[in-house]
Amino acid sequence: MQAEVSVKESVIRILDELPPERISEVLDFALFIKERTKAEGRKSQKPEVKAAPVESLKALAGLVALGGDAVEDADKCYE
């Protein structure tokens, strides 16, 4: 905990010495690090697997056909 306080104090001391336009750069960087940390936390989470009854899955059979013309199929969606 003591090392963390001294690091924070050092950052604050350096911020006090910077011109205002550079302080905004430090803020941008800190926000970037915060978002990256959140993203890394989301990556480490395992996806939740949910089971579905076979009867509900049978209704999906044949819904998607392999092959065909993707452009033509997409055009049909927008007609």
Residue ranges of the domains in the chain? 2-44
| Structure tokens, 10 | 């050092």
N-terminal to C-terminal alpha carbon distance within the chain: 64
CB atoms within 10 A of CB 34: 10
| Structure tokens, 31 | 């926000």
The pLDDT of residue 2: 62
The pLDDT of residue 10: 93
Weakly modelled stretches of the chain, pLDDT under 50: none
The pLDDT of residue 23: 94
Q: Give every CB contact of residue 15 below 8 A, 6+ residues apart in sequence.
A: 23, 26
Contact between 17 and 26 under an 8 Å Cβ cutoff? The reply is: no
The pLDDT of residue 62: 75
List phi, psi (to 5°) of 18: -85, 150
